[in-house]
C-alpha cells in the first residue's frame, strides 16, 4: 500500500468536510437534548434520594429502639436466670430437709 500525503492542510480539510456534513444547529440540538434528558433524570433521581434518606433515618430510629428493648430484655432475662437458680437452690435444700425428716421419722 502506498501512503498518500496530504497536498493541503488535512486538518482544515477535515474540519471543512465536517462542517458541511453536520450543521451547527444539529450539534446545538443534540447538546440541548442531552441537557433536557439529564434534567429529567435529575428531577426523578433527586426526590428518590431524599426519600431514601428519610427511610434510612426511620430505619436507624427503629434499630435504636430495638437495641434499647434488647438491652432491657437481656437484663430481665439475667434477673430471671438468677432467680431461677436461687429457687432451684432453695428447692434442693427443702427437698434434702424433707428427706432427712422422713428418715428421722422411721
Which comes out higher in pLDDT, residue 7 or 69?
Answer: 69
Does the pLDDT value for residue 3 go beyond 70?
Answer: no
pLDDT at 19: 65
Does the pLDDT value for residue 62 go beyond 70?
Answer: yes
86 pLDDT band (50/70/90 cuts)?
A: very high
Give the C-alpha separation, 71 to 77, whole Å.
10
Does the pLDDT value for residue 2 go beyond 60?
Answer: no
Mean pLDDT confidence for 39-45: 82
Q: pTM to 2 decimals?
A: 0.44
Average model confidence (pLDDT) across the chain: 84
Question: In this structure, what C-alpha cell is assigned to residue 19?
Answer: 462542517
pLDDT at 104: 84
CA-based nearest residue to 65, from 76, 77, 57: 57
Mean pLDDT confidence for 54-82: 95
Give the C-alpha separation, 38 to 28, whole Å.
15
1 pLDDT band (50/70/90 cuts)?
A: very low
Give the C-alpha separation, 56 to 69, whole Å.
20
Amino acid at each position: 500500500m502506498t501512503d498518500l500525503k496530504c497536498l493541503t492542510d488535512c486538518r482544515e480539510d477535515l474540519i471543512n468536510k465536517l462542517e458541511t456534513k453536520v450543521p451547527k444547529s444539529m450539534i446545538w440540538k443534540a447538546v440541548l437534548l442531552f441537557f433536557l434528558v439529564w434534567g429529567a433524570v435529575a428531577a426523578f433521581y433527586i426526590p428518590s434520594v431524599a426519600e431514601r434518606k428519610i427511610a434510612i433515618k426511620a430505619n436507624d430510629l427503629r434499630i435504636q429502639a430495638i437495641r434499647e428493648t434488647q438491652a432491657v430484655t437481656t437484663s430481665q432475662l439475667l434477673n430471671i436466670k438468677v432467680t431461677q437458680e436461687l429457687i432451684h437452690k432453695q428447692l434442693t435444700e427443702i427437698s434434702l430437709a424433707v428427706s432427712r425428716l422422713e428418715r428421722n421419722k422411721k
